[in-house]
Amino acid sequence: MDDDDKAHKLISRQTVKTRAIVIVPIIYDRESSQKNYEASSRSRIEEAVGLAEAIRLDVIEKLSVNIEKPRPATLLGQGKVEEIGKIIADEKIDLAIIDSSVTPIQQRNLEKAWSCKVIDRTALILEIFGDRARTKEGVLQVELAHLNYQKGRLVRSWTHLERQRGGSGFLGGPGETQIEADRRILQSKIVRIKRELETVVRTRALHRAKRKKVPYPVIALVGYTNAGKSTLFNRLTGADVLAKDMLFATLDPTLRKIVLPHGQTVMLSDTVGFISDLPTHLVAAFRATLEEVVEADIILHVRDMSDAENHAHAQDVLNILSSLGVNVDDPDHIIEVWNKVDLLDDVSLVALHDSARASLNPVVAVSALTGEGVDKLLGIIEKQISGEMVKCQITLKPDEYGLLDWLYKNGEVINKTSKDDGSVIVSANLTGQANDRFDNIIKTKHHD
């Protein structure tokens, strides 16, 4: 098999799955209990395998490696390198995925030792994003992140795989093999893509400015990948956004209008899922997309409460939001949505509801799949957007009867009483914002 055939075998994901091994290095903490170590190891392996399967890799072997002190040359100890090398040779594995950051030197040395392609966590996530991007902006952002990542990784021993690009994906390699030519090509591509991206970003900014003129408040869904954001988005909007039990099932942001219980229209935005150790290249590249989150009136932080690691995942999300300049301690800006309650047993469910009631910040427990708690969530969003419900007594003259329909759509009409002069007294609950809108309608009508 010549070099081009090997390259084609590695990067082709449609016909033959690439055989891969997932290696999770864990820095051993002597103070941590064995139970915590095993739980962390198991959780990280599951997530790393999920990432690999998200781009249809065939994970043949998975293992965690206890590291007390990372080796500068190979990250892993010599004995472990040889042990894994034997597995790779015996199982005819094409790709080794290391669920950690790997330096260019470590990558080159491991590729020499194992005679297979080696990528780290950053490269794997970049590959997933490249596979998921659909809009022009998404494709450009991912390609820019790829190129910036590749700039420091042009020295490779696995050179026969570098001659075929294989699209924008990372596994195909950066292109040519001559380092100086590579650098020039990469830099020219980066400049070109940045220029194209600036045009797309300006267009997005214009669209955002138009929405502000309407104006509809923006509600942004954020959360760890696979927390159920897209399922909740579909539940709230009636849309049909891809929602699978798969990491990074959606990448490009989606916006839809929804109408709150008392008539207020808002825009709901579903964004890319966050993940621990999200590559800085991607945070930078997707900054324009994430501005939907930064500029949102309310952020719904969706958490998968059936996941044992949900507290750690929630902190990862908050850290990324903080890096974007969002005040994560503002209870008027962030609502926690504790999702997947349908997967909890009765004891866990009681404890969850107790925790939600005791929380100082707005929290609502829901099941995006069954719809449980969604009405309560909409009520909390409405309260945050429109203010508390106010009981009003409104007198409508005969020429104002047309406003009754407005009151039914935008409030809770408790009762109405007809008077001898033909007027109607309406008792209704209106949000503070709806009450202000109604006053403006009356003023305009009288002015006309």
Q: Of 97, 54, 14, whose CA–CA distance to 250 is shortest?
A: 54
41 to each of 77, 119, 234, 448, how far by Cα in Å?
18, 20, 33, 70
Across the beta sheet with 19-27, what order do the strands follow?
Answer: 58-67, 19-27, 95-98, 117-120
Rounded Cα–Cα distance for residues 205 and 287 (Å): 12
Largest CA distance in the chain: 96
Residues 6+ apart with CB under 8 A from 122: 101, 149, 277, 279, 281
149 is in an annotated binding site: no
Q: For the chain, what percentages of helix, strand and coil (3-state, to nearest 5) are there?
A: 50, 20, 35
378 to each of 210, 251, 270, 295, 383, how far by Cα in Å?
25, 25, 16, 20, 9
The sign one gets for the Cα dihedral 223, 228, 231, 232 is negative
Q: Of 345, 349, 343, 290, whose CA–CA distance to 321 is shortest?
A: 290
368 is in an annotated binding site: yes
Q: Of 20, 29, 75, whose CA–CA distance to 49 is shortest?
A: 20
228 is in an annotated binding site: yes
340 is in an annotated binding site: yes
307 is in an annotated binding site: no
397 is in an annotated binding site: no
Phi then psi for 381, rounded to 5 degrees?
-60, -45
226 is in an annotated binding site: yes
270 is in an annotated binding site: yes
DSSP state letters, 70-96: -BTTTBS-HHHHHHHHHHHHHTT--EE
399 is in an annotated binding site: no
Rounded Cα–Cα distance for residues 270 and 283 (Å): 17
Strands (E), 327-405: 334-339, 363-365, 389-396
Rounded Cα–Cα distance for residues 186 and 15 (Å): 30
225 is in an annotated binding site: yes
216 is in an annotated binding site: no
- Which H or E run contains 428? strand 424-431
The amino acid sitting at 25 is: P
229 is in an annotated binding site: yes
339 is in an annotated binding site: yes
Strands (E), 17-145: 19-27, 58-67, 95-98, 117-120
Q: Which two tokens stand for residue 351?
A: 């404890």
250 is in an annotated binding site: yes
Q: Where do we find the tokens 């390609």? A: 143
252 is in an annotated binding site: yes
Rounded Cα–Cα distance for residues 239 and 223 (Å): 19
Task: Write out the binding residues.
Answer: 223-230, 248-252, 270-273, 339-342, 367-369
Task: Write out the binding residues for GTP.
Answer: 223-230, 248-252, 270-273, 339-342, 367-369
Task: Write out the binding residues for Mg(2+).
Answer: 230, 250
